[in-house]
Amino acid sequence: MAESRVDIEINRDWCKCCYLCIAVCPLNVYTCSDYVGEKGVAIPLASNPEKCVQYSLCEMMCPDMAITVHAKENGRVCAAN
């Protein structure tokens, strides 16, 4: 498995499980997880982060700003991308 070039954070407290991230990602980075949130729906999971090339459509389309995508540099997360 290839190493991920990004770190994808999903804030479980903010996510309302609309699944727009799953719908807009052209590289199928996201799937539904087994974790059911407080709203009774499965939270999205970045199950294939190694596929992410940082289009950041998930970040832009998330109505709750629950997704953050950070680039990694030498295996470390860079705050400024």
In a domain, 44, yes or no: yes
- Residue 11: CATH number of its domain: 3.30.70.20
Chain segment 20-49, per-residue pLDDT in tens: 999 999 999 999 999 887 788 899 999 999
Length of the chain counted residue by residue: 81
Q: What is the pTM of this model?
A: 0.81
User: Can you tell me whether residue 20 is helix, strand or coil?
Assistant: helix
Q: Would you say residue 65 lies in a domain?
A: yes
Q: Is residue 1 part of a domain?
A: no
> Domain of 36?
6-77
Phi, psi angle pair for 55, to nearest 5°: -65, -30
Q: How many domains, the chain?
A: 1
- pLDDT on residue 11: 94
Task: State how far Cα 75 lies from the chain centre.
Answer: 18
